[in-house]
Amino acid sequence: MPRRGLVLVVSAPSGAGKTTLCRHLLQEVRDITFSVSCTTRPPRPGERDGVDYYFVSPEEFQQMIARGEFLEWAQVHGNFYGTPKRQVLESLKQGRDILLDIDVQGAAQVQEVLGQDAVLVFVLPPSLEELERRLRKRNTEDELTIRRRLDQAQGEIAQAPKFDYLVLNDKFKEALQELKSILFAERQRTFRRQDLLAKFS
């Protein structure tokens, strides 16, 4: 009887650094798998199909929605993003943890479907001014897109109180340690450790 798996859902405004945090978490922590999302947006420089995202056409994405293949999906900045359901449910069943790097809308949908199996973490930037600086430093978006992302960030931050945990990504090493601590603590929740209690029954 394995320990019950969990789904660690990490959300943040664009530019807050959640993808970098998630990447380091995967490098430093054993026994957690990254759930690769599908998207209709084009790959950014350095992104690989099947590793960072599954890059699909809008038509393919709509067919996947129709077949009920997504745990959650959303339209963000004109592109579609979705989490394939099968991998997540299989991991939970086998006692493996899975990491989701998704937006606020998606996090709410995952919690609705999975209940206490989902652990929701919201990553905050130090300030909106710092968020704007990071977005500009990326040099991947035009002025209109940056303004739109900043407007959306305020709406997303307003949803932060609905999450289980908050992590401030000001000093990266501290933020990463906080994220790891959340994962380690959640792994030991009593309802996930029936495998331990079974030894004494």
Position 88 scores a pLDDT of 92
Q: Taking the CB of residue 112, how many other CB atoms lie within 10 A of it?
A: 10
Position 140 scores a pLDDT of 76
Task: Determine how β-strand 37-39 pairs with β-strand 79-84.
Answer: antiparallel
Position 201 scores a pLDDT of 85
Are 104 and 159 in contact by the 8 Å Cβ rule? The answer is yes
Cα 146 from Cα 15, distance rounded (Å): 10
List the strands of the sheet with 7-11, edge to edge.
32-34, 97-101, 7-11, 118-124, 165-168
Position 153 scores a pLDDT of 93
List the pLDDT tens digit at each of the 201 positions of the chain: 788 899 999 999 988 999 999 999 999 998 899 999 999 999 988 999 998 899 999 999 999 999 999 999 988 878 999 999 998 998 888 889 999 999 898 999 999 999 999 999 999 999 999 999 888 888 777 888 889 889 999 999 999 999 999 999 999 999 999 999 999 999 999 999 999 999 998
Give the chain's domains with CATH numbers.
Answer: 7-35+95-198 (3.40.50.300)
Position 143 scores a pLDDT of 87
Entry pTM: 0.88
Burial tier of 191 (Cβ tally within 10 Å: 0-12, 13-18, 19+): exposed
**Which one, of 94, 69, 66, lies nearest residue 82 by Cα?**
69
